[in-house]
Amino acid sequence: QRDGYIRFHPGDKLSIFVHSRDEQLMNLFNISGRNGGTNMMSNSQNYAPYTVDDNGEIDFPVLGNIKIEGMTRDQVQKTIKEQLVANSLYKDPIVTVSFYNMTFSVLGSAGTGVKQINKDRITLMEAIAMGDLNINGLRKNVLVMRQEGDNQVPYRVDLTSAESVYNSPVYYIRQNDIIYVEPNDMAKRGSTVMGSSAYTPGFWFGMFSSIVSIGLLIWNIAK
């Protein structure tokens, strides 16, 4: 969707924390994944994740299966809160939802690495800034690979054109996107197996050394 919010899909993981003054209720809903026991921390990343199943649902304690496919974090929080109140489990619960190990990748001349999604919306420019775009990157032909259904769909974006960036379907990044910034010709020529080429100082130094060595050898033979 064009609003750019990260939405949950089958296979995604999320952490959910329900706050209550009643510790027994907290123990019922909050399953610790890191601290070895439930505590009063409101950071839901401390708790075991829920995985969205193939039906777009999570299996939540007491409430059972809850359909969250296509929802944002705020929508999931609101849905769980409403169901807790409707089932007379809480009067005014505080529900916190966090992304759990949801990522995108940046490759090529923008650095190489897997980046954590820690906010509800991330633009392509922000995503590239989280990498390390260097001077040798081709800004006019950035590739974004996105999983859409069973297909991996490629998109090309010209970062030098505001219109190209803003109108692109990948203006906002989604989980599991792969961003590749291709190196320019100079960078390609300068990155051979031996780390030098005909266009680098290393190549010319090596060539000069070889010529001198051959010249000395011929001179010694001639003597």
Comparing C-alpha atoms, which of 73, 65, 34, 32 is closest to residue 175?
73
Write phi, then psi, for 23 (nearest 5 degrees): -65, -30
Question: 127 and 118 in contact (C-beta within 8 Å)?
Answer: no
pLDDT at 34: 39
Q: Where are the alpha helices (DSSP H) in 47-155?
A: 73-86, 124-129
- Helices (H) and strands (E) counted in the chain, each on its own, are 6, 10
Report the distance separating Cα 115 and Cα 92, nearest Å: 35
- Please give the chain's pLDDT, 223 residues, in tens: 679 999 999 999 999 999 877 777 777 788 654 333 333 344 545 567 899 999 999 999 889 999 999 999 999 999 999 999 998 888 888 899 999 989 999 988 877 789 999 999 999 999 998 877 766 678 899 999 999 988 999 999 999 999 999 999 999 999 999 999 988 655 455 555 444 444 455 544 454 454 444 445 444 545 5
pLDDT at 1: 62
Q: State the Cα torsion 173-3-171-6 to the nearest 10°.
A: 0
